[in-house]
Structure 1
């Protein structure tokens, strides 16, 4: 006997039984047989009824554990087939890897990587070979969910191998839900993951095991430079460590944005850029915030100093000592 197609029964979809399905299945269990004419699609989808051997029309309910075995078997077979395919590819390329290693040119201390695919492949390779420490600096405010999902995958792989992962953002990520969700997940996943924030960061930087570093090669970040020269990498590590010492630890809690050093630090950076002649849009881009938020901060600074226009604000910033006081507080 053929079991009806679950799509033709007009029942619910999904991986659980609907109320009708539960009632039908329990009735079939009590009766010892199932009515072929009224099978809900959810019962069919979970394979809880099966044809009776030797009968052309009879159906019988089976144990959920038996149905689970039927459902899982093709999934396990597919996983096994994909694992075998991966092993076949590895075996096919291993001899070529040896030939490549024997004939390749010496690795350059500086390599320009062109295109996102090439950059991601190089970073994936460095991630696989990283064994001790990953240092990253991610300026520019909050990141997209898709980028953070990929970052979470890579970070978990490293943490599972005992790698210490440190990340720096700008203070503005404290107001970005997607980034805060990432911080919450990664710090809960392992105590070897640390995140801190600064008012202003240098350009994006990734350093693996203090032996290879990646920097953007131009503004759009579609080209990158891979650096293996030991002195240059050591210099970048030193820059990173100095910034890390000044940064504020970021905890994934609602109070994270209320850290007493965050708002004053952001406003002091804005004030420094104002005095240096930057326009609002350039300041916002550099500090990883919206222009609207930047202007709100500027208004608060002007209010604190009693300024009524930009020219006066520039003078007061220089005369008041606002830029020289590391612990200056600003009203909310």
Structure 2
């Protein structure tokens, strides 16, 4: 596909890239010679060599470079003598053709950008509708996933259920979600969100949830691992891709969406309200529940990295909790801890 057919009637100018890459730089030596000659009406190679103590070859090379930069020119009646060219004039002589080519290219880029921009609303308006024709659709990238969330949110009338695994959420994600969530709540849409306990120790996430709660959002927390999911009106759901890519999976099958909503409800019933203000007793209770989950995963033989990922915390935090647990139960090492926990029922030492 070439020529006009490739650009819908607009042909990109054939810009010579070498026109830009081969432009000479002036440099320190050329500036030194230009400074020496600028006060002379005419000069020769010998004048430069004698005046600046240069070898004839070096003086000749420098003159050729100044000629290339258009900062000097040969006299018409004497090719061995030169005169200085004003910098503004030299700049025009040197850069005129490249700048004209660049301006033509930029005009073409602006035209194409405007034409592509006209197509964006058309694409976005049909994105969710087009995908809803299939029960399950792979959303290939993060940008498309965000477009879908925005469109499905705009069409939502009753309730949005969201489960957010892990601990702290990136600030840019929170900022993006804030306006969309506020618009939903102001339209009377119910908004319920599940976090993991580890989210309670991130200031940015807490500030976001406090702001949303003031608008009417409901937020609770659970100690165990969640799968990321957003359910819109019980009719459509976005779930994370199993490969952990930046994309997602859009589900429209009624049975699958109903199952995802039911799983969310089970978690919601056992979850605790996310505390937005510091409370020592609550923090202690939360820490105990986290340790209990760590114990359960530990006796199942899971590695520290797996445990920390499932509980939404860093590996270092997970290891610190394990050290506290080992000290609490009197374990000499990890193997001894596993023995004490599984053989003596020490898992019951921590509250349910």
Q: Aligning the two structures, in what range does the TM-score lie when normalised by the shorter sequence?
A: 0.5 to 0.7
Higher helix share: 2
Uncovered stretches (5+) of structure 1, i.e. residues with no partner: 1-88
Q: Does 1:113 align with 2:139?
A: yes
TM-score, structure 1 length as denominator?
0.65
Structure 2, unaligned stretches of length 5 or more? 1-117
> Superposed, which structure 2 residues align to 1:9-28 within 5 Å?
none
- Runs of 4+ with >6 A deviation: none
Selected match of 2:218 from 182, 187, 194: 194
* Candidates 171, 174, 182, aligned match of 2:197: 171
SS in 2 for 1:200: coil
Report the equivalent of 1:185.
Answer: 211
Question: CA–CA distance in 2 between the matches of 1:254 and 1:145?
Answer: 21
Shift of residue 258, structure 1, vs aligned partner: 2.8
Alpha carbons of structure 1 residues 293 and 257: separation in structure 2 relative to 1, 3 Å = farther
Of 273, 276, 281, the residue aligned with 1:249 is 273
CA displacement at 1:223 relative to structure 2: 2.1
Contact 1:175/1:257 (8 A) holds in 2:
no
What SS class does the counterpart of residue 111 from structure 1 fall into? Answer: strand
User: Is this contact kept in 1: 2:240–2:248, CA < 8 A?
Assistant: yes
Q: Does 1:148 align with 2:171?
A: no
CA deviation after TM superposition for structure 1 residue 276, in Å: 1.4
Q: What residue number does 2:162 align with?
A: 136
CA contact (8 A) 2:161 2:232 kept: yes
Are residues 1:205 and 2:252 paired? no
Matched, 1:159 2:158: no
1:103-132, CA deviations, whole angstroms, 9 ceiling, x for partnerless residues? x79701111110111111111110000111
- Give the number of aligned pairs: 233
In the other structure, the counterpart of 1:327 is 351
Return the index of the structure with the highest Cα Rg: 2
TM-score, scaled to structure 2 = 0.61
Contact persistence 2:196–2:226 (CA under 8 A)? no
- Distance in 2 (CA, whole Å) between partners of 1:115 and 1:228 is 19
Q: Does structure 1 conserve the Cα–Cα contact (< 8 Å) formed by 2:162 and 2:192?
A: yes
In structure 2, how many angstroms separate the alpha carbons of the residues matched to 1:258 and 1:130? Answer: 35
Give the structure 2 partner of residue 297 of structure 1. 321
1:46-95 residue CA offsets vs partner (Å, 9 max, x unmatched): xxxxxxxxxxxxxxxxxxxxxxxxxxxxxxxxxxxxxxxxxxx89x96xx
RMSD over equivalenced CA pairs, Å: 2.7
